[in-house]
Chains A and B, each alone.
Chain A
Amino acid sequence: MTGETALKIQQLTKDYGPVRAVDHISFTIEGGSIMGLLGPNGAGKSTTINMILGILRPTEGTIEIFGKSMVSHRAAISCNVNFAAVYAHMPLNLTVRQNLRIFGLLYGVKRLHERIDELLAQFDLVKFASTKAGLLSSGELSRLSLAKAVINSPRLLLLDEPTASLDPSVAEIVRETIKDYVTQTGTAVLWTSHNMREIEAVCDHVLFLSHGSILLEGNPRALPSEYGKGDLEELFIAVAREPLSLREE
């Protein structure tokens, strides 16, 4: 870890009318660390990520990225942040290289052509450079999303189920690529996934969300035994099915 606070969330809350999707959550992520954001469907993970990205306005609470408020410094902060999410499609009617060029320009990347060549090699996309994104397999498309996610060498990277559609072999390569990237650059990562083995392998710290609140947090390798569960998957199932009993513990 670099010791720099990349992301500081305080009392973050989001209401959709009468429905509270995220309920006063607070946490910080330091540079060089990978935090897992876990929880069943509808727990508030994507809502939290969208608020951090600045595409959803919080009802209450603050988001500080590198010490600056996301609400008042969005454009400046966004240059140092990036993301990949299963629901955020890359334009399918552009080629791989065209996509990277567009997003490189949007993020103000210097020496863009060289950077694109680097990313094509790093994410094994060289042979698809002139292929339209719509013709790629889901695994290739995920690699393109990840290449876009690191094109600006972000200091904060948000990954919403980055390996969801990948086969185990490719998922392993992607995990290793991101871990290496974090080690080399000191980037802070917020990672959501429903693959608990992946979370154990990758994350330094995890937060369990349930009904918009943080239910549990800690080291993903130590947390299951603290709650009398065999592994993280068992703990996840307990969070999803009996959140109240865990809250009492």
Chain B
Amino acid sequence: MGLTRAFAVFLRQVFLFKSNPTRLTSLFLWLIIDIVQWGFISKYLGSIGQSTFGLITAILGAIVLWGFVVRIQQGIMTSFLEDVWSQNFVNFFASPLTIVEYLSGLVITSIVTSLAGFIMVVIIAGVAFGYNVFTVGLMLIPFMAILLIFAMAMGIFISGVIFRLGPSAEWLGWPIPLVLSIFSCVFYPVTTLPTALQVIARLIPASYVFESLRHLISARAISPGLGSHLLLGALLALVYLAIAYMFFIRVYRRNLENGTIARFSAEAW
């Protein structure tokens, strides 16, 4: 894999952010709204309840980590859409750029922009609501790693769907995080869901992370089963990443076959 070419894909996005600062609002604005709104809601709920459970910690932790997932998924998708909107596929795919390099460039872009958003909401949550994301200690690393892999899988899969169905399919991409948040059990335990939906939740890697996060906050200790629980989540996330990658490759080959790459534009669908 050519790192220089993956860097070129990343640099293109950096130039876009530099040239138009309004694009930065998409990185930060929704995260700020979420953290401020949920910060006040959880503060209020905490004030009326007698629970010893760290409500602010649980809700804001969930908001910060789910925001990271959403930014990664949408970061990959919007970077891909930039190439759709600028009808850039002919220039890119006629160059030595390979699909792995192209997807790596999109992923690097989304990781950098998402980490910028993550750091900002951590600061706001700390200053405004006294929340410290690092209270979960080193467990934050596996939590974020699983969420990152899962979000990459979602972002690549949705980009593949748009590549397959045409630019108008971007409308499928925006509500995906909302739908998945239900089954990821971001704000409630898996057992809250009806039995049939719990089966779906068990297939979503993020649900293992948020279950573990709540357990860690309530028990204030790492339970013996936590490792295997997270391992299962990580394996699921890796499987989804492999499936998403293979799906994208399959769509790319199909588009090579039928000529879609040469005429991939919003007007052609």
Contacts and interface: CB of A to CB of B under 8 A. Distances in A.
Interface of A: 16, 46-47, 50, 53-57, 74-76, 78-79, 81, 83, 85, 87-95, 98, 101-103, 105-108, 132, 148
Contact of B261 (A56, A78, A92): A56
Interface in B90-149: 90-98
Contacts of B19: 93-95, 98, 132
Interface string B1-14: 01011011001100
23 contacts: A46-B262, A47-B259, A50-B259, A55-B93, A55-B256, A55-B262, A56-B256, A56-B262, A57-B253, A87-B262, A87-B263, A88-B90, A91-B12, A91-B91, A92-B86, A94-B12, A98-B12, A101-B11, A105-B7, A106-B8, A106-B95, A106-B96, A106-B97
A148 B8 CA distance: 14
B258 A16 contact: yes
B251 to A, nearest CB: 14
Query: Which of A47, A76, A93, A108 gathers most chain B CB within 10 Å?
Result: A93
A211 to B, nearest CB: 17
A88 B15 CA distance: 20
Nearest to B102: A106
A155 to B, nearest CB: 14
Contacts of B16: 93-94
B181 interface: no
A88 B261 CA distance: 11
B256 A78 contact: no
B90 A91 contact: no
B257 A105 contact: no
Given A105-B4, A105-B7, A87 B90 contact: yes
Contacts of A107: 95-96
A53 B256 CA distance: 11
A206 to B, nearest CB: 23
Chain A CB within 10 A, most for which of B4, B87, B90, B95: B95
Main secondary structure of the interface of B (DSSP, over half): helix
B96 A78 contact: yes
B198 interface: no
B195 interface: no
Interface magnitude class on chain B: 20 to 34
Contacts of A89: 86-88, 91
Given A46-B262, A88-B91, 6 more contacts: A55-B94, A55-B262, A56-B256, A89-B87, A98-B15, A102-B8
A50 B8 contact: no
Contacts of A91: 12, 86, 88, 91
A165 to B, nearest CB: 16
A57 B19 CA distance: 36
A55 B12 contact: no
B8 A75 contact: no
A95 B16 CA distance: 10
Given A16-B258, A94-B12, A75 B98 contact: yes
Nearest to B14: A98
B11 A105 contact: yes
A41 to B, nearest CB: 15
B20 interface: yes
A106 B92 contact: yes
- Most A CB atoms within 10 A — which of B86, B96, B256? B96
Nearest to A88: B90
Contacts of B15: 94-95, 98, 102
Contact of A83 (B5, B12, B94, B256): B94
B224 to A, nearest CB: 49
Contacts of A132: 19
Given A47-B259, A56-B256, A106-B8, A79 B96 contact: yes
A110 B90 CA distance: 23
Contacts of B11: 101-102, 105
